[in-house]
Structure 1
Amino acid sequence: MFPNTQTQRTVDLTKGGQVATRNKVLRNTYWLLALSMIPTVLGAFIGVSMELPMLGGGMGFIIFLAIAFGFMFGIQKFKDSGVGVALLLGFTFFMGLMLTPLLRHTLGFANGGTLIMTAFGGTACVFAVMASIATTTKRDFSGMGSWLFAGVIVLILAAVANIFLQMSALSIVISMLAIGIFSAFILYDVQRIVNGGETNYITATLAIYLDVYNIFTSLLHLLGIAGGDRE
């Protein structure tokens, strides 16, 4: 009886330690995600108030990808140090700057401020619902990873094509699909933390930040089309 009892205690302690570690990663991820919104807002404010010019078209998209992937490479490389946090915050500032064209377009509407706040509120609701499901459900979402990645590739190809096609209908479809795909990504990314698949809060924050960012921009784009008031 005694050896079995000791073994069970060891197992229980091990499980308890794993749960505590996962909860710590999740807690730190949420804190860093909230912190990352500050440079994002600052970057957006600077971009809009200073009317910074942004490169458009195919060349602008290529430059954006080069800078974004450069930041993400650096974050991945230094994910175990404070440098990784600094790079992440720098990346979120850059992404805030990249909101400039969309925000300026939206603020051109009479109800532009309302649309932005609505998109922000809608994004927060989506995140809250999806994160809650991911942390409470017993369903395993790990199998969605490959499908979601394929969906992102399709979205990128469609977005590149629409740079040249300039089809409003395709733009709407892309935004709707993006909201669905990145909402599902929140389920996937948060559950990876809960299940122990992601143990670094810096890279976890990066993944969830990109989910939230894409939902916000896609939702704001749709709101501008459907509810923008020019009067």
Structure 2
Amino acid sequence: MANYQSVRSTAPEALGARIDAGLRTHMNKVYGTMSVGMLITALAAWAIAGLAVTGDMSSAALTAEGQAMMIRQGEFLTGFGALLYTSPLRWVVMFAPLAFIFFGWGALMSRGSAAMVQVGFFIFAGAIGLSMSSIFLVYTDYSIVQTFIVTAIAFASLSLFGYTTKRNLSGMGTFLMMGVIGLIVAMVINIFLQSPAMMFAISAIGVLVFAGLTAFYTQDIKNTYVAHAAQGDQEWLDKAAFDGALSLYISFLNMFQFLLMFMGSQE
């Protein structure tokens, strides 16, 4: 794929200026779409968790022994919360976004219009919010906000590095994607082992892997735009912006979740 530096240095001045202006617009669209997706995820997670937790024991779900399902002191699961978090439905909520990424997104990108891809991304963001709502039942609101701010600062720094560096990060991207596969396998294994040491190692490696992917994806989005801008296929470029937003969105959320395992407080 074309490298931004080589294309920019060999392009005529007028074409180079047009590429620079188009790239800024493209990146603004990527970050703007990602930000809206993050807002949808946060609102969905907060709304679902808010419905699932209450201080009123009269609406709390009961165990088989007739005891209210308490999450922490003064907070209880409602019937909806029990259905979502303690029934087999939790597996559907957990794996539905993953299934969409592996089986739905590629088809949407190849056959759908730019508007359809955008809607698909926002629906995915809402589904992620549903699956992430349980963090409000595990961690305090303060620690969630604190971790989010730290993640946002780290993400902005890493994305800026990926955008400005002249180093080719494509080789690093291949290595990091292998790391993601290793993380998924390790996390599945640890579902059965329940090893705190293994979970700590997964969290530490996960932060590093998705930090690297943030820089890689940013550079890849930039180079992808440059490689196709001259062709004038605006429909494809619009879809590419949403695809780039999805990549950065996933990197951000994974960094956030792995950091939350270190920084999150449960009391």
- Structure-2 residue corresponding to 1:88: 121
Equivalents in 2 of 1:26, 1:79: separation in Å? 21
- 2:99 equivalent to 1:66: yes
TM-score, normalised to structure 2's length? 0.72
- Structure-1 residue corresponding to 2:37: 36
Task: Please list every run of 5 or more consecutive structure 2 residues that lacks an aligned counterpart in the other structure.
Answer: 1-8, 53-80, 227-236
Q: RMSD of the alignment, in Å?
A: 2.6
The amino acid of 1:91's aligned partner reads F
Equivalents in 2 of 1:155, 1:94: separation in Å? 22
The amino acid of 1:73's aligned partner reads G
- Structure-2 residue corresponding to 1:148: 176
- Structure-2 residue corresponding to 1:3: none
CA deviations on 1:115-169 (whole Å, 9 max, x unpaired) are 1111101110111111111222222212212101100000000011011111111
Taking structure 1 as reference, are residues 22 and 115 closer, same or farther at Cα in structure 2, changes over 3 Å only? same
Taking structure 1 as reference, are residues 182 and 26 closer, same or farther at Cα in structure 2, changes over 3 Å only? same
Please state how far the C-alpha of 1:114 moved relative to its aligned partner: 1.6
Is the Cα–Cα contact under 8 Å of residues 97 and 128 in structure 2 kept in the other structure?
Answer: no
Taking structure 1 as reference, are residues 64 and 14 closer, same or farther at Cα in structure 2, changes over 3 Å only? closer
Spell out the pairing of 1:1-231 with structure 2 (5 A cutoff).
11-51=12-52, 52=81, 53-54=84-85, 62-63=95-96, 65-77=98-110, 80-106=113-139, 112-196=140-224, 199=237, 200-224=240-264, 228=265, 230=267
Please state how far the C-alpha of 1:18 moved relative to its aligned partner: 2.2
Equivalents in 2 of 1:13, 1:173: separation in Å? 51
1:98 partner SS: helix
Equivalents in 2 of 1:26, 1:67: separation in Å? 24
Identity %: 25
Equivalents in 2 of 1:18, 1:145: separation in Å? 25
TM-score, normalised to structure 1's length? 0.83
Please state how far the C-alpha of 1:46 moved relative to its aligned partner: 2.4
| Of 14-23 and 204-213, the range deviating more from structure 2 | 14-23
Taking structure 1 as reference, are residues 36 and 64 closer, same or farther at Cα in structure 2, changes over 3 Å only? closer
Taking structure 1 as reference, are residues 38 and 58 closer, same or farther at Cα in structure 2, changes over 3 Å only? closer
- Structure-1 residue corresponding to 2:3: none
2:166 partner SS: coil
Task: Please list every run of 5 or more consecutive structure 1 residues that lacks an aligned counterpart in the other structure.
Answer: 1-7, 107-111
Moved beyond 3 Å, runs of 4+: 54-64, 67-71, 77-80, 196-199
Is the Cα–Cα contact under 8 Å of residues 57 and 163 in structure 1 kept in the other structure?
Answer: no
Equivalents in 2 of 1:70, 1:92: separation in Å? 16
1:116 partner SS: helix
Equivalents in 2 of 1:196, 1:158: separation in Å? 32
CA deviations on 1:170-228 (whole Å, 9 max, x unpaired) are 1111111111111111100111122336852110000000000101111112223xxx2
Number of aligned residues: 215
